[in-house]
A and B are shown apart, each in its own frame.
Chain A
């Protein structure tokens, strides 16, 4: 019963996604540098960093849960990835719908939190607190955007949504869903932990937030997780609002487009403090979200 074709596709997709994830991280750093009129590292720099971290002779660990955290995070990201219909590979998306994927995208957060908390470092605890608060803050608009989407298309299944978008045109062409797109875009910043909402791992303040205690292969795992997460998020964004893609190349273009929007926004805005972020999320994005939802009722 175990169909080999699907398994191979899955493994291939995981490798492709990891690789492309690192490239996206590279593009992100490169574009940010370019905007700030400096050269910036080559786009394959993250791959080199990860391999360097993996190659370290010895890695420090603070107990079982400290190790289990990053492993669980990466595993969850991979699972989430496999449920998103990427270009023409349906993978397992027929078995889960939008809500399941949205939740699976948030599960890695728990893995990172577990690891960070068990490290015993107060800064990582501070990072955990900020990460959680951001998640709480952005959850409402995030939900409203998804609900508007579901109500408009009338189905939860990602594959159906992609099919419908092929037929009726992309989601952003619908005015109500445009509002949802804007909300989702703002929330997307927080999901990726980019500039206005990167308080979670605020580099200047608490150096990498929750990951402060991580080094060696734990850091490598977290970097891979971040890459897969990045790829999955952008793919998810593309599937929902930009009508998915018939082939990988078209998907890649859309993902990079989304990425660039995020990078431009990130490079302009200063950092919000946590309660400012919460207040902000509960003001404008929520209002727009509610309008979008009421329009699509």
Chain B
């Protein structure tokens, strides 16, 4: 009896909150151009960052600080999961081997999936998507391997080291920007050295965006697979 009362009460509360939010959103009409800073970005993205994809330019260059924070969040997630599920010795819990279709399929697909992931984050500044989606696709490759084989384990010692190295790489890129351009995360390749000004829209353009996205791609790939690895294992009672 109590739960019915509780449910109805919840519904009423949520409806009122919903009405309130709707009233708030009514002031922000859908579909109208509400941009202020957005126009500046759209007008100047090409010559200031050399990237065609405005979102990537904003994510890496204009608001690079967010992404730095963003990478840290994911790093914290993987360390946190690692810390929480930590056991002295762990082994896989999978019992049944993948079916023939799955195992052979994975053997065939894994390299291509990884390649496609690499493609996404290398062309971040040109095509939609960037470091994060690229990294995620690589992680799916490893997930595929986990599902197919009961004994397969990612080399998590090496992965942790790559995570650390790549993270440091990102910060060092920022520090180089500070050293050269005087500002932390300053795109010294595009601004000071002026490489790739002529071939906007092609691969070697967009300042340090590709470099950062490669670093992010690797980092996200290793982290997500690390999380998957931690979750798919169980502690061994010695």
Query: Direct A–B touching in the complex (beta carbon < 8 Å)?
Result: no
